Every structure is written in C-alpha cells, then in structure tokens.
Amino acid sequence: MSATLHLRVPNRIEELPGVSEAVEALGSEQGWAQDVTYAIVLGLEEVATNVVRHGGGDPGSSEIEIDVTSSDDEVRVEVRDSGRAFDPFHEAPEPDLDAGVQDRQIGGLGVHFVKVLMDETSYSREGGRNHVTMVKRRS
C-alpha cells in the first residue's frame, strides 16, 4: 500500500505543528511503527525549522513544499524551498557530543538527529530551490 501527502505551507514556525499533525495522521493510517513516526516527524520539523530560520526572507513571504510518500518498505520525505542555497548535511556545524554541560553548544543538533535517524539523506539545488530528501526504512 502506498500513499503520498503533499503540503505547501508558508515559511512560518507556527505552520509546523499542523505539518506534524498531518504526517502523524498519515503514519497512523499507513501503520508506521512508533520509532518511524517519531523519526519522520522530527526530521521534517528540524529541516523545515532550518528553512524558516536560515532561509532568508520574511516569515510568510515564501512557501515550503513537502511531500511524504509512504510505501511498504520505506517512508520518503522531500522538502523544497526557494530560500538561499543551504546544504544542511554539509554546512551545518557538527555538534560536540563529548563536551560537558557548561561547554556544550546546541548548534547542529537538529541536523545530527536527521543524519542518525534517517537511512538516507541528500541535498541538491535545483532551479533556484533547495531540495532535501530523507528516507527511513520501515524495518
């Protein structure tokens, strides 16, 4: 069984809980395991939050296009935006996972989650838009 969720939302943080809700509904309908749902919702929130915060342009001035495709074997998430070129998988800072509480910096943690929780990630710049793909296998 396969299903696709297609969303277009303004580049505003306040839009993201609605995206999470829609993705959870798809996961429930498609019978995703709890850890798959968590990974997909988290990965999408982290990538979309980066787009809103670092993509440039005023909130609400552009759109983020999201496609989530669920098949028997995997869930594929694609995020496209027209913000400034930014490859989160190579340009975001690497978190220092060994630093103590007082020295620990928070930057890069969201992208680190995506890299660890997803089975595949990729970035490309196409037609003046960023295109992030994340794939999570279901077993």
Partner 1 sequence: MNVQVEHHDKVLVARVEGRVDSSNSQDFERQLQGAIGEDVNAVVIDLGQLAYISSAGLRVVLLVAKTLGQRNVSISLCALSDPVQSVFEISGFNRIIQIYDTQADALAAAG
Least distance to partner 1 from the beta carbon of 43, Å?
10
Q: Which two tokens stand for residue 26?
A: 């798809």
Task: Give the footprint of partner 1 on residues 1-20 (CB under 8 A).
Answer: 13-14, 16-17, 20
Our separate counts of H helices and E strands in the chain read: 4, 5
Tell me which stretch binds partner 1 (CB under 8 A): 69-77, 79-87, 107-115, 121-129. 107-115
Which listed residue (109, 123, 129, 131) binds partner 1 by CB under 8 A? 109
Distance between CA 1 and CA 110 in Å, rounded?
30
Q: Does 139 bind partner 1 (CB under 8 A)?
A: no
**Angle between helix 16-30 and 34-54 (nearest 10):** 160
